[in-house]
Chain A
Amino acid sequence: MENIISVRNLTKQFGAFRAVDNISFDVAQGEIFGFLGANGAGKTTAIRILCGLSRATSGTGSVAGCDIMTQSEDIKRNIGYMCQKFSLYEDLTVLENMELYGGIYGMHRKEILAKAEAMLTELEFWHHRHDLVRSIPAGWRQKLAFTVANLHAPKVIFLDEPTGGVDPLTRRQFWGMIRRAAAAGTTVFVTTHYMDEAALCDRVSIMVDGRIMALDTPEALISKYQVRTMDEVFRTLARNAVRNE
């Protein structure tokens, strides 16, 4: 399978502080890639570089066939992004937010409506399409943010801690959505603190102090470190972390 994300020796320096320290990895198309790490390990910085929000100090990489140093605007055409902080417009309705983001990616109104109807119906949320986002409960907001990020059928979706503060049931539903997107061929690049979620990824990388300390399937990691759960894998690796938030 072809690599949709490929990163070599990526480094990001803030003054004397090296947020991302020489990381390299590949993500295959259609893969659910878990990007784990303690707070302050450098996950968000790395994601921001991949999305073209931040410029790497050194290193090379490509996302969806575009160079991360020179073609950041082309990358943006091919990705969806759901940031840590909920950032849909609260003073717009559900449908208006979808029209906005669909329109930004150059989709036609009819196309957006058809897609929105299909996606919202699947979520059983179609009858709430005219509700202001402000009035929607937290769990639904996250599902909605994912739907909006996925609306223009991006090749890669970046999810930065998408299930923070969400109840277990909604989390399960949310992961259902992630799996369906991956099954449809979309690559999902997700960061999380929940190790049960990490176990649902095809492959995970664990970042400690800006460096990738482990990268493999969850099963392989569990057997390598001779523990029973991903939780223990994570604790074994993160124990030696110097930085903390």
Chain B
Amino acid sequence: MRVLRTLIIKELRQFRRNPFLPKLVVGFPLAIVLILPWIANMDVKGVSVGIVDADRSDVSRRITSHVEASEYLRLHDLYADYPSALADLEDGHIDAILEIPNGFGHSLHATPKRLSIWANGVNAMKASLGSQYLMQTVMKAFPTESAPTQPSFENSEIVNCELSIVNCELTSLKLLRSAEPASSLCSRSIATLSIVNYYNPTMDYKHFMIPALMIMLMVMVGGFLPALNLVSEKELGTIEQINVTPVSRLTFTLSKLIPFWVICLLELALCMTLALLVYGLPVAGSVGAIFLAALLFIIVMSSIGVIIANLSDTMQQTMFLMLFVVLSFILLSGLMTPVESMPLWAQHFTRLLPPTYMVEIMRAVYLRGTTVAELSGSYLALAAFALTFATLASFTYRKRG
């Protein structure tokens, strides 16, 4: 025990003298909570729209002002014709084009002409949600516009419906053209639909990302730094001197890990406090559940770090292997993109990656208040990973050649 303490004191002294590490360790949680959520933002807001208005009627002006007013859309410019708008889309100034054909406003009374939306599919997410938002906004412009002239629109349920989604109003437009009884039935049923969002009432994408970003902190501080630290002793040759002493491999490795574990948990607490103070995001579930998961996950990550450090001789190798592991972890675990969107084989594969469970736990506990009992499967999986990797880590360390 005293030996372990001596070694930990040594680690702390070295840590303090390191020109980069203390700054890194202080800066990291700040960046994670204060800067990254603003960047890791898949929120589709501010979709830039260009309108080709060949109609120049009251209707088209009304549509334009609705687009201008939408919180999701940003009106970039009005264009005289489609090619000039397309040129701007190609240059990336606008994400979508709304084309209002000549005579659209008048046609509403008879057979309506068709509007066109052209969305840039390079960013698939933006194209799909953006065109949905655009449709919805366009549709919002209709009811009050045409209600006085079109009896079919006097469907009060539709008009009053506060739905933010396009399709219910689509139904009403359909009524405009053909008054099928079936659609009337549908429109009624849908018009009386209400939507409740649980857990993230503000629909803030940042809230969704913050708990997951904290995992990146654990990956970096719990996995990356100890691995580099271990391999640097190897490269400098100082490990040779330690190897002739009676220090056991477990003690030596623990002395490297414990400081990072402590730092990591403290930083997690700091991150959680900052998230509450800055974004007003509290932990919906139990804080203990988060720390339990964090502890298990840190053990997994640092064991992986130790294994990689033990298998490589130089920092270059460690860095590359670690980077590869960390990248695949971050990209495949559902941290950035939903696991559900992956093809089935990839979804099965993510079950083999420890961070998948961690991402699940963090989001569930943090946002939805899920309990440990309800997540017992994920917790057990993490514990099993911790045990496996820790065992592997102790096997790969060889004191004697």
A139 to chain B, nearest CB (A): 19
B173 to chain A, nearest CB (A): 73
CB closest chain-B residue, reference A72: B400
Complex Cα gap A132–B16 (Å)? 13
Say yes or no for A92: interface residue by CB 8 A criterion. Answer: yes
| B246 and A76 within 8 A (CB) | yes
Say yes or no for A104: interface residue by CB 8 A criterion. Answer: yes
CB closest chain-A residue, reference B247: A104
Chain B 1-38 near chain A by CB (<8 Å), digits 1 or 0: 01101110110011001100000000000000000000
CB closest chain-B residue, reference A104: B245
Report chain B residues within 8 Å CB of A74: 246
| A52 and B7 within 8 A (CB) | no
Complex Cα gap A96–B9 (Å)? 9
Complex Cα gap A85–B400 (Å)? 18
| B238 and A87 within 8 A (CB) | yes
Pick the residue among B10, B237, B243 that contacts A100 (CB under 8 A). Answer: B10
Interfacial residues of chain A within 86-109, with CB under 8 A of chain B in the complex: 86-92, 96, 99-106
| Interface size bracket, B side | 20 to 34
Complex Cα gap A104–B7 (Å)? 7
Report chain A residues within 8 Å CB of B2: 103, 106
Complex Cα gap A214–B5 (Å)? 46
Say yes or no for B344: interface residue by CB 8 A criterion. Answer: no
Complex Cα gap A54–B243 (Å)? 10
Complex Cα gap A89–B5 (Å)? 17
Report chain B residues within 8 Å CB of A105: 245-246
Report chain A residues within 8 Å CB of B313: none
| B3 and A54 within 8 A (CB) | no
| B6 and A103 within 8 A (CB) | yes
Report chain B residues within 8 Å CB of A106: 2-3
| B241 and A88 within 8 A (CB) | yes
Say yes or no for A77: interface residue by CB 8 A criterion. Answer: yes
With an 8 Å Cβ cutoff, the count of chain A residues facing the other chain is 33
Chain A 136-161 near chain B by CB (<8 Å), digits 1 or 0: 00000000000000000000001000
| B400 and A87 within 8 A (CB) | no
Say yes or no for B401: interface residue by CB 8 A criterion. Answer: yes
Complex Cα gap A81–B246 (Å)? 12
Report chain A residues within 8 Å CB of B7: 100, 103-104
With A76-B244, A96-B13 already in contact, the answer to whether A54 and B6 are too (CB < 8 A) is no
Report chain A residues within 8 Å CB of B18: 91
Report chain B residues within 8 Å CB of A77: 246
| B13 and A81 within 8 A (CB) | no
Pick the residue among B5, B17, B242 that contacts A91 (CB under 8 A). Answer: B17
| B3 and A83 within 8 A (CB) | no
Say yes or no for A79: interface residue by CB 8 A criterion. Answer: yes
Say yes or no for A53: interface residue by CB 8 A criterion. Answer: yes
Say yes or no for A115: interface residue by CB 8 A criterion. Answer: no
A159 to chain B, nearest CB (A): 12
Say yes or no for A116: interface residue by CB 8 A criterion. Answer: no
CB closest chain-A residue, reference B251: A104
With A91-B17, A100-B10 already in contact, the answer to whether A54 and B237 are too (CB < 8 A) is no
| A92 and B14 within 8 A (CB) | yes
CB closest chain-A residue, reference B245: A104
Say yes or no for B58: interface residue by CB 8 A criterion. Answer: no
| A104 and B400 within 8 A (CB) | no
With A72-B400, A92-B13 already in contact, the answer to whether A53 and B243 are too (CB < 8 A) is yes
| A53 and B10 within 8 A (CB) | no
Interfacial residues of chain A within 6-32, with CB under 8 A of chain B in the complex: none
| B244 and A81 within 8 A (CB) | yes
Say yes or no for B240: interface residue by CB 8 A criterion. Answer: yes
| B10 and A92 within 8 A (CB) | yes
| A104 and B6 within 8 A (CB) | yes
| B244 and A53 within 8 A (CB) | yes
Say yes or no for A206: interface residue by CB 8 A criterion. Answer: no
Say yes or no for A219: interface residue by CB 8 A criterion. Answer: no
CB closest chain-A residue, reference B17: A91
Report chain B residues within 8 Å CB of A48: 401
Say yes or no for A193: interface residue by CB 8 A criterion. Answer: no
B5 to chain A, nearest CB (A): 7
CB closest chain-B residue, reference A90: B236
Pick the residue among B240, B245, B401 that contacts A101 (CB under 8 A). Answer: B245
Complex Cα gap A90–B238 (Å)? 9
Tell which of B7, B18, B242, B400 has the most Cβ of chain A within 10 Å: B400
Interfacial residues of chain A within 25-64, with CB under 8 A of chain B in the complex: 48, 51-55
Report chain A residues within 8 Å CB of B242: 104
Say yes or no for A196: interface residue by CB 8 A criterion. Answer: no
| A89 and B246 within 8 A (CB) | no
Interfacial residues of chain B within 359-401, with CB under 8 A of chain A in the complex: 399-401
Say yes or no for A73: interface residue by CB 8 A criterion. Answer: yes
| A96 and B10 within 8 A (CB) | yes
Report chain B residues within 8 Å CB of A103: 2-3, 5-7, 9
6 A-B pairs whose Cβ atoms sit less than 8 Å apart in the complex? A76-B246, A91-B17, A91-B18, A96-B10, A100-B6, A101-B245
Add 10 more A-B contacts to A54-B400, A79-B244, A104-B3 (CB < 8 A).
Answer: A52-B244, A53-B401, A85-B240, A87-B237, A91-B17, A103-B2, A103-B6, A104-B7, A104-B246, A132-B17
CB-based closest 4 A-B pairs = A103-B6, A81-B244, A87-B241, A76-B246
- List A residues at the B interface (Cβ < 8 Å): 48, 51-55, 72-74, 76-77, 79, 81, 83, 85-92, 96, 99-106, 132, 158
